[in-house]
Amino acid sequence: MDKLIKCGKFFSASNQTVKNNIAVIIRKNLIIDILPLDKISNEDNYEVIDLLDGFVMPGLIDTHIHCNLNGTFESFGQSYSLSPAFYALKGLPQIQANLMAGFTSVRDMGCAGFSDVALRDAIDQGIHWGSRIFTSGLPVNTLGGAGDSNFQPPYQGGSRNHMRAVVCGVEEARQAARFNFKYGADQVKMLATSAVLGSSDEAGPQELTYEEMRAMIEVAEFNGKISAAHAIGNKGIKAAIKAGVTSIEHGSFMDEEAAEMMCEKGIYHVPTLIALERILEHIDDKSIPSYAIKKAKDCEQARIKAFQLSLKKGVKIAFGTDAATPYNKHGEQAYEFVLMVKYGMKPADAIISATKTAAELLRWDDRLGTLEIGKLADIISTRENPLEDISALGRVSFVMKDGEIYKRE
């Protein structure tokens, strides 16, 4: 039997318009019709889902999470010593928490082994349930770089470890990208610069060269795939832009020239404001390394300025949270919306960044990101209007993914 969702308020995310009293008809996992509710002549022909008290919108997409980690510093260290199989199992409830929070799709940005690929496939095949996953496989960084490990063998061995592909030079970079795609990654993710949680003295010095990044991006292009660059410092940001990366992650020290380059090339910015916010909220916690405290403070205002610069210049902003970084828990990352609005984004645009724009970044916009006829039935609802109070997105009351209901309060 077809499903009929009765929507009090309906936000398709294809534009900023909100419609009232709309019917969405679903057959199996597809939206087959959207029409005014008063055009439905006989509700007995449908399985009726009453969301007349709700604000209905597409399922949210978080384009930057880490399914293996759980928001503690301890989980970062364990990543290099525990098996990828263990991390696949550990990641499952975290992916499920994301779905229950309304994030019907996520992009994993770095995992242990290819545990993200294993989770993706298990969920796609119906073995387990959870958010739809877009995978990275092994993120690529330089020897001794932000994601490398100081553990001795057998945890650290030559060109890769449990968490990273480690490269020195163009040919190794090219082979790392090929290795990832061979084993099922949907994109190549590279660490263009150091990180706040890395052990470098400064926040975000460049680590991968332009040539190394270009080699990986070229392999992605050959395979019809996208690329993403963790990039904090401006020099590394610009090198990644020139190399042709699809998205800049974080972009904390982006300057005006970099933003203009991103606009010109159509490169996305995934600001992940919440990741640093959560660390700053716990800055007195003794578990935070001293080098991370200094760099977090250095980035505090820079990441806000970079976000506002992207807004001003018209850079395409996709929603991402770095969920699983310290104090930044899976299923609780909707606070990113609050920060985006706080720093200048309109609520409707914030929602679109996590739906239409995010789907376009992942090249899933032919089937996800907006509520339109022919697209997958990924649908969520809140009781409050998030255009009036954006924090309502942290209180999702209804979740449907692929035509199946997972949450219905």
Strand partners, 383: none
- Let me know the angle formed at the C-alpha of 171 by 169 and 176, rounded to the nearest 5 degrees: 95
Query: Is the per-residue pLDDT at 194 higher than 60?
Result: yes
263 phi and psi angles, rounded to 5 deg? -60, -45
CA distance 12 to 134: 22
Note whether 370 and 14 are within 8 A (CB).
yes
Residue 41 has pLDDT above 70, yes or no: yes
Q: What is the pTM of this model?
A: 0.95
The predicted pLDDT at position 64 comes to 98
pLDDT at 385: 98
Mean pLDDT of 372-381: 98
Q: What is the pLDDT of residue 159?
A: 59
pLDDT for position 200: 53
* Confidence tier at 238 by pLDDT (50, 70, 90): very high
Ranges 257-261, 299-303, 322-326, 357-361: which has the least confidence? 299-303
pLDDT surpasses 50 at 154:
no
**pLDDT number for residue 157:** 46
Q: What is the pLDDT of residue 52?
A: 98
Residues 136, 186: contact at Cβ < 8 Å?
yes
Distance CA 197, CA 279 (A): 10
Q: Which pLDDT score is estimated for 100?
A: 98
- Structural domains of the chain in order of their starting residue, each with its CATH number: 3-59+371-408 (2.30.40.10), 60-333 (3.20.20.140)
User: What are 111-140's pLDDT values in tens digits?
Assistant: 888 999 999 999 999 999 999 999 999 999
Cβ atoms 9, 53 nearer than 8 A: no
Model confidence at 327: pLDDT above 80: yes
pLDDT tens track for 79-119: 566 788 888 898 999 999 999 999 999 999 988 889 999 99
Percent of the chain with pLDDT over 70: 91
Q: How confident is the model at residue 73 (pLDDT cuts 50, 70, 90)?
A: low
